[in-house]
Structure formats: structure tokens, C-alpha cells
């Protein structure tokens, strides 16, 4: 990758390209474990992990929260004289950061990259102008677009939803935004297009026709899919489940709910899941549960690699730091065959009190190192083979004889029930959970 900032203002001056220095390095601005070119199994680390940087958190979020003002205002905004200038400077800062981090992908919402215009037509023009500039920077640096999306939740007009808004005109405005965001994604050769329905849900059932809203959502997604395919989009569509926040209840509550919805409406061939760790926790699941559930349906697409805080119940979007969780996540991803169009997008933001310019780098370094460790451990789990072999053996009674006949659908219920006459005492077989957890810990330490 070229040094992007040459010829532009350098926004992160004093911080160079982040290099791999190994576990013994005490340089906070170096990778300890993420060695992009290192082979793990049959692929390079970078090709397994496909890291993406989230435009909204890294270049838009400024520490504002419901209780206080910005703590880290961005120079690309404060130094700019107009919204258009700020958008271009933000783009420069973003590509400088991508290249310095060595991240090969990024993700964006339409409203992250350029300000909304006075009319939908003006907004679309703004986005097209930005897209042309982003395309040039992609070409210059080799950085690619993992996925694009439309923000149908920030503008007050979407306070009652976008695709599920009770007012048809608002739904149509949402469609105009999605169409423009799909066009931008195609133009930038995006590998995916995501729907996260923050306000596609309800605050109260007393004012909601739930059945109608879900049908509207399905039709809206179908129209988007049909349009994008007609325009030649070959990538994946993703739904990103989340149970609530900002709504009391979101229709794409969790992976299992989304799979049922997609299958019911015939969208399961084009759509896959974008699983976010923090959303999994909010739904009362763990990250690996959501990944395995999507993989079992053949619909694991991409990942928002962040974490919550176990003590509080909202979407804190913190950078991942647990090797244990990353190992279980990467184990699920490797077992599913790895990413194709998807990758690990850091839908994570630095804390409000992280005000040093280096904090954004250290946060991403930590997240990338965490998943690099997770990958190595997961590969170790597969190579050593004890856990997969244990699971296989646990179901061995279905591999032959009557168990295999059951799986093939060769029994009716009376025939199945009749088999037990000959069984006698079946006995108890241990699930060996503690043994398996001990084994996992030994892989973690690598002893």
C-alpha cells in the first residue's frame, strides 16, 4: 500500500505505518501478534481476518454522549470551512488511517461520509461526488470497500422507522436513500451491502400494526435486492441483528429470528447475517452462539467485531480484547470455511475519555492483535483435533445402523418407538464439558 497522505495534509502526523514487531515488543504502536503475511493453516492472517475499519466510529464519533459534549473533536471537521471541505478532509484522514493501520477494507453509512443535502436529490449528488473521490483513493491505496449501508435512523424523519414507518412517504424517502447507497456501493466495488434496522421495530404495541410493518420490511428488502441485482451487484446482502436500542424491540432481534424471516419471505439466497458481538450479548446470547447459528443455516456472512460491557446492558461498541472470546469466534468462523465476501469490521469506538491521537491506533492494534491470537488458537483447536473428534464421536450413534436410518427419514414414529423394546439399559454418557474447557485453556496458553 502506498503512503496515502503524500500530497495531502497528514492528519496523524508523528505516527507511521504500524508494523508487526512480535510479542516481546513494548512499542504500543506496533502489532504484537498480527503478522499480516504469516500463514495460519492454508491462508495468510490478513486473508483469514479481512479487517475493516468503521468510518462512523473512527472518523465521525467525537466522544459526544447523551450527557456531554465532544471530547475529541476531529481536525478534519474543525479545520474545514464548509461541509463539502470537511467531507473531503475526513476522506483524506480516513485513507491515511487505513493505510497506516494496514487494514485492507472499510465500511460506511451514506451519512458518515458527506452531509445530507437540503433535498433528497442534493443528498444523492453529494454522495455521488464523494463516491468519485473515494474511488480515486481506493485505486491509489488498494484499500477496498467491505460493505456500504444507508443510515435510516439519525434524521428525525426516521423516528418511527424507515422501511417500517407508518407513513408511506417516509418509507419512500428511505428507499431513495437506500437506492443511492446501493449505487455508491456498486460504484466502489463493495463486496457487501448491509441493513441494520435500528428503528425498524416499535416503542409501543399500542400504536403499532406489527404484522403490516414486518410485511413492509420484507417488501422493502426485496425491492432493494432486485434493484441491486439488476444493476449487476454480485456481492452479499447482510442483515445485522440487534434486539433493541434505539427501539424497545427490533424486528431483526437475533440470528435465529432473522433466518426465519428471510426464509419466510424467500430472501435467504441473497441475504446472510452480519453478526455483531455486542448485539449478541444484548440478545442474551454469546457471540459464538450467533456465529454458529448463522453458520448452521449456511448464512454466516460478516462480523462486527466489537464487545459490550457485561455490567451494563447497552451497545457500548468497545474494541475487542478477550482472547478467549476471539478464539471461540474464530473457531466458529474457521469451521464454517472462513469468510468469502465478509470480514471483521471493527464496529467499535474509543472511549469518551480516550483523547490522545494515538488512542485510535492503539484501539485498532489491540483489536487486530486480539483476533490474530483468536485465529491462531482456533487453528490450533482444529489441528489438534481433539474437540472436533469429541463432538463427532458424541453423535456416532447416528453414523450407522438405526441412527443413520433415522437421519435419512426411514422411520415413522411407531417404528422408531418400537426399536426401544430391545434396548435394555442404555447407560449414561458424559458430556465432558469440564474436560473440554480445560483443553481450550491449554490451547489458549499454547503449552
Task: List the one residue from 276, 281, 290, 369 that touches ligand XLS (CB under 6 A).
Answer: 276
By CB under 5 A, the residues from 324 to 383 that bind Ni ion are: 347
- Contact between 254 and Ni ion by CB under 5 A: the answer reads no
- Contact between 304 and ligand XLS by CB under 6 A: the answer reads yes
Q: Least distance in Å: CB of 195 to Ni ion?
A: 11
Task: List the one residue from 242, 285, 289, 349 that touches ligand XLS (CB under 6 A).
Answer: 242
CA separation for the pair 346, 307 (Å, rounded):
10
By CB under 6 A, the residues from 9 to 38 that bind ligand XLS are: none
With respect to ligand XLS, which residue has the nearer C-beta, 150 or 373? 150
With respect to ligand XLS, which residue has the nearer C-beta, 84 or 115? 115
With respect to ligand XLS, which residue has the nearer C-beta, 14 or 156? 156
- Contact between 315 and ligand XLS by CB under 6 A: the answer reads yes
Partner whose footprint covers residue 149, from ligand XLS, Ni ion, none (CB < 5 to 8 Å by kind): ligand XLS
Say whether 48 is catalytic.
no
Q: Least distance in Å: CB of 311 to Ni ion?
A: 17
By CB under 6 A, the residues from 154 to 193 that bind ligand XLS are: none
Segment contacting Ni ion (CB under 5 A): 20-28, 92-100, 260-268, 276-284?
Answer: 276-284
Instruction: For the chain, give the secondary structure using H, E and C.
Output: CCCCCCCCCCCCCCCCCCEECCCCCCCCCEECCCCCCCEECCEEHHHHHCEEEEHHHHHHCCCCECCECCCCCCHHHHCCCCHHHHHHHHHHHHHHHHHHHCCCEEEEEHHHHCCCCCCHHHHHHHHHHHHHHHHHHHHHHCCEEEEEECCCCCCHHHCCCCCCCCCHHHHHHHHHHHHHHHHHHHHCCCCEEEECCCCCEECCHHHCCHHHHHHHHHHHHHHHHHHHHHCCCCCEEEECCCCCCCCCEECCCCHHHHHHHHHHCCCCCCEEEEEEHHHHHHCCCCHHHHHHHHHHCCCEEEEECCECECCECCCCCECCCCHHHHHHHHHHHHHCCCCCCCCEEECCCCCCCCCCHHHHHHHHHHHHHHHHHHHHHHHHHHHHCHHHHHHHHHCHHHCCHHHHHHHCCCCCHHHHHHHHHHCCCCCCCCCCHHHHHHHHHHHHHCC
- Contact between 315 and Ni ion by CB under 5 A: the answer reads yes
- Contact between 124 and ligand XLS by CB under 6 A: the answer reads no
By CB under 6 A, the residues from 190 to 209 that bind ligand XLS are: 196, 198
With respect to ligand XLS, which residue has the nearer C-beta, 35 or 240? 240
Task: List the one residue from 96, 112, 252, 304 that touches Ni ion (CB under 5 A).
Answer: 304
- Contact between 281 and Ni ion by CB under 5 A: the answer reads no
Q: Least distance in Å: CB of 139 to Ni ion?
A: 27
Task: List the one residue from 96, 240, 270, 281 that touches ligand XLS (CB under 6 A).
Answer: 240
Say whether 72 is catalytic.
no
Q: Catalog residues that contact ligand XLS under the rule CB under 6 A.
A: 109, 149, 196, 198, 240, 242, 276, 304, 315, 347
Q: Which residues are catalytic?
A: 109, 112
Q: Catalog residues that contact Ni ion under the rule CB under 5 A.
A: 276, 304, 315, 347
Amino acid at each position: 500500500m502506498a503512503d496515502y497522505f503524500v500530497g495531502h495534509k497528514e492528519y496523524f502526523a508523528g505516527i507511521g505505518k504500524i508494523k508487526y514487531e512480535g510479542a516481546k515488543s513494548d512499542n504500543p504502536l506496533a502489532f504484537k501478534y498480527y503478522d499480516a503475511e504469516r500463514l495460519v493453516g492454508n491462508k495468510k492472517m490478513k486473508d483469514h481476518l479481512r479487517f475493516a475499519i468503521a468510518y462512523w466510529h473512527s472518523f465521525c464519533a467525537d466522544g459526544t454522549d447523551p450527557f456531554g459534549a465532544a471530547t475529541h473533536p476531529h481536525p478534519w471537521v474543525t479545520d474545514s470551512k464548509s461541509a463539502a471541505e470537511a467531507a473531503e478532509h475526513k476522506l483524506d484522514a480516513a485513507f491515511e488511517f487505513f493505510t497506516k493501520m494496514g487494514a485492507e477494507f472499510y465500511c460506511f453509512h451514506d451519512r458518515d461520509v458527506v452531509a445530507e443535502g437540503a433535498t433528497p436529490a442534493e443528498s444523492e449528488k453529494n454522495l455521488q461526488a464523494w463516491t468519485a473521490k473515494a474511488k480515486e483513493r481506493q485505486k491509489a491505496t488498494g484499500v477496498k470497500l467491505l460493505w456500504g449501508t444507508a443510515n435510516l435512523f439519525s434524521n428525525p424523519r426516521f423516528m418511527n422507522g424507515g422501511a417500517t414507518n407508518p407513513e408511506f412517504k417516509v418509507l419512500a424517502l428511505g428507499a431513495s436513500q437506500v437506492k443511492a447507497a446501493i449505487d455508491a456501493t456498486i460504484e466502489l466495488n463493495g463486496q457487501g451491502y448491509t441493513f441494520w434496522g435500528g428503528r425498524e421495530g416499535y416503542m409501543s404495541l399500542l400504536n403499532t400494526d406489527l404484522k403490516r410493518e414486518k410485511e413492509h420490511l420484507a417488501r422493502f428488502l426485496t425491492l432493494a435486492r432486485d434493484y441491486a441485482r439488476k444493476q449487476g451487484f454480485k456481492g452479499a446482502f447482510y442483515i445485522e441483528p440487534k434486539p433493541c436500542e434505539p427501539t424497545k424491540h427490533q424486528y431483526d432481534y437475533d440470528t435465529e429470528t432473522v433466518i426465519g424471516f428471510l426464509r419466510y419471505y424467500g430472501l435467504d439466497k441473497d441475504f446472510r447475517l452480519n453478526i455483531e458481538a455486542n448485539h449478541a450479548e444484548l440478545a442474551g446470547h454469546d457471540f459464538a452462539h450467533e456465529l454458529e447459528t448463522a453458520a448452521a443455516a449456511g448464512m454466516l456472512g460478516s462480523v462486527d467485531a466489537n464487545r459490550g460491557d457485561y455490567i451494563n446492558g447497552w451497545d457500548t461498541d468497545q474494541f475487542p480484547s478477550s482472547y478467549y472470546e476471539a478464539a471461540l469466534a474464530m473457531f466458529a468462523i474457521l469451521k464454517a470455511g472462513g469468510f468469502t465476501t465478509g470480514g471483521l469490521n471493527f464496529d467499535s469506538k474509543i472511549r469518551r475519555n480516550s483523547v490522545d491521537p494515538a488512542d485510535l491506533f492503539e484501539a485498532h492494534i489491540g483489536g487486530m492483535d486480539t483476533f490474530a491470537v483468536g485465529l491462531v488458537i482456533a487453528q490450533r483447536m482444529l489441528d489438534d483435533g481433539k474437540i472436533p473428534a469429541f463432538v463427532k464421536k458424541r453423535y456416532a450413534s447416528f453414523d450407522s445402523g438405526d441412527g443413520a436410518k433415522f437421519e435419512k427419514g426411514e422411520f415413522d414414529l411407531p417404528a422408531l418407538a418400537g426399536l426401544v423394546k430391545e434396548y435394555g439399559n442404555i447407560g449414561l454418557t458424559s458430556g465432558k464439558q469440564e474436560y473440554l474447557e480445560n483443553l481450550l485453556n491449554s490451547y489458549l496458553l499454547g503449552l
